[in-house]
Amino acid sequence: MSNLYNIIDLHSSLEFYPRFPFRYSSPCCSRERKMSVQLSLINTTSEPEMTVVNRHKYSSLFASDHRDFLLSPTGAQIMISDLEHKTVGIYFSANWYPQCQTFSKLLNQVYNQIQARKDSKFEIIFVSSDEDLNAFNNFYQSYMPWLAIPFSDLETKKALSKKFDVEGIPCLIILQPDDDDDESVLHDGVELIYRYGVEAYPFTNERLDELSRQEKEKHERQTLLNLLTNHDSDFVLAHSACKEVSVSSLMGKTIGLYFSAQWCHPSHKFTPKLISIYQKIKQNITQQESNEEQEDFEIIYVSSDHNELEFNSYFSVMPWLALPFGDPTSKNLTKYFDIRGIPSLVILGPDGKTVTKNGRSLINLYEEEAYPFTEARVELLEKQMDEDAKNLPSVELHSGHHHELMLVSQGNGGGPFICCDCDEQGLGWAYQCIDCGYEVHTKCVRPVVPVSSA
């Protein structure tokens, strides 16, 4: 399964917004449609052929017939030739999309950290998809210390978007100064910044291979103790009289790391569901008296609350454990598991290794039956879902939609989606409107009640 949720600032408390790397159900995604339309206009508007005559690599990309400079946040004109021998990030973004605002804050931090290095040869150029000049100025001056293509230069912005095949924002393209090979262009700069932060610099293949190797080795050495303890703390909080539970006492259990926060609206919907499923799983384990293995399941709250008051209030409704508020382990876990949005549920096996980072999706799909969340268990549940689908009608009328809905699966037009009825993730079988893309879980269909004539 894909990691269906993106957006987190690893260094400060920011809001989280969904970013879905799959199709959108049209009634549920006005912001995304706006993004798609604006980028489509940039990409498809007719333009004259650009002729490059003995110009530096970056001039051929960023200059126009009447301009050989870029803008700074102060309005100063910076010569494009100053970029020579620098690694350059082309940042496609816009003020109206919340994810762009959130990522811009993180990118700002990483950019300043890189610039603080003595050997820094890095620059970013903002390519705006803002609605108008005022929006551009406000967004640029509020979030960005780097350079920008002038807002009025639509032709250059269109050409860049077309050349690098930009289909969504935020998008960060990384160019190396002395490599003209298109294969050396990195299109996943946003992913790299979220995953590695400043450590990704200078964004060369050698550096990225090294980081990937280090990450793999770290995950191979992963245990519950080295995940949840540090030199100042080796416990989690409980609601019991003792208040503190040693991490070592949790070894051998299946553990769910629940990344959430009181201020997060999607968490308000998912947390009550997770509480109910958690209690059912615990009850099922207790009733399995014949089970020779001492199974157990626990959840640990990993907070992104703004302050301790919020943390205490939110944790008080949870029946499980929690990392102490302000414990640096919380941010370390967020970065380690590449958490881009909340709520998110990471499942660890009894050996402390990661079972899945898609616990939330599995809870939504299979509820308590998802336990213990292993690949073998999920495969069994998927087969059962396919069998159950044989008894579902091929067409349904849903009271929440005015078109006829068709039964689809991942193999015949379906796939990962966000249910337009419950706003939760879905995968596999669904009812989909062929006319407009509206899509719901099979369990969320509400039959149309005929209106009786008086």
Per-residue pLDDT tens digits for 253-300: 999 999 999 999 989 989 999 999 999 999 998 887 655 555 799 999
The DSSP code sequence of 188-247 is: -HHHHHHHHGGGGTT--HHHHHHHHHHHHHHHHT--HHHHH-BTTB-EEE-SSTT-EEEG
Q: pLDDT band at 169, cuts 50/70/90?
A: very high
Residue 23, pLDDT score: 31
Beta bridge partners of 173: 90
In the chain, the domains with their CATH numbers are: 26-215 (3.40.30.10), 224-382 (3.40.30.10), 392-444 (no CATH)
Residue 275, pLDDT score: 97
Ramachandran class of 416: left when φ > 0, alpha when ψ lies in -120 to 50, beta otherwise: beta
* 432-453 per-position pLDDT tens digit: 887 777 888 888 888 776 655 5
Instruction: Tell me if 145 sits within 8 A of 74, measured CB to CB.
Output: no
> For residue 420, how many other CB atoms are within 10 A of its CB?
24
Ramachandran class of 54: left when φ > 0, alpha when ψ lies in -120 to 50, beta otherwise: left
* 290-346 per-position pLDDT tens digit: 555 557 999 999 999 999 999 999 999 999 999 999 999 998 899 889 888 899 999
Instruction: Tell me if 398 sits within 8 A of 445, measured CB to CB.
Output: yes
Query: How remote is the C-alpha of 102 from its chain's centroid?
Result: 11
> For residue 162, how many other CB atoms are within 10 A of its CB?
14
Percent of the chain with pLDDT over 90: 52
Instruction: Tell me if 425 sits within 8 A of 451, measured CB to CB.
Output: no
Instruction: Tell me if 314 sits within 8 A of 342, measured CB to CB.
Output: no
Q: Are strands 254-260 and 297-303 parallel, antiparallel or unpaired?
A: parallel
Mean of all residue pLDDT scores within the chain: 82
Q: Residue 9: pLDDT above 60?
A: no
Q: Which amino acid is at 12?
A: S
Residue 144, pLDDT score: 96
> Three-state SS for 81?
helix
Handedness of CA 362, 368, 369, 373 (dihedral sign): positive
Instruction: Tell me if 395 sits within 8 A of 405, measured CB to CB.
Output: yes
Residue 410, pLDDT score: 66
Percent of the chain with pLDDT over 70: 82
Q: Residue 57: pLDDT above 80?
A: no
Residue 72, pLDDT score: 93
How many angstroms separate the CA atoms of 202 and 225, rounded? 33
Q: How many residues does the chain have?
A: 454
Residue 59, pLDDT score: 87
Q: Residue 38: pLDDT above 90?
A: no
Residue 289, pLDDT score: 60
Per-residue CA distances from 101 to 138, 215, 267, 343, 345 (Å) = 12, 28, 21, 19, 25
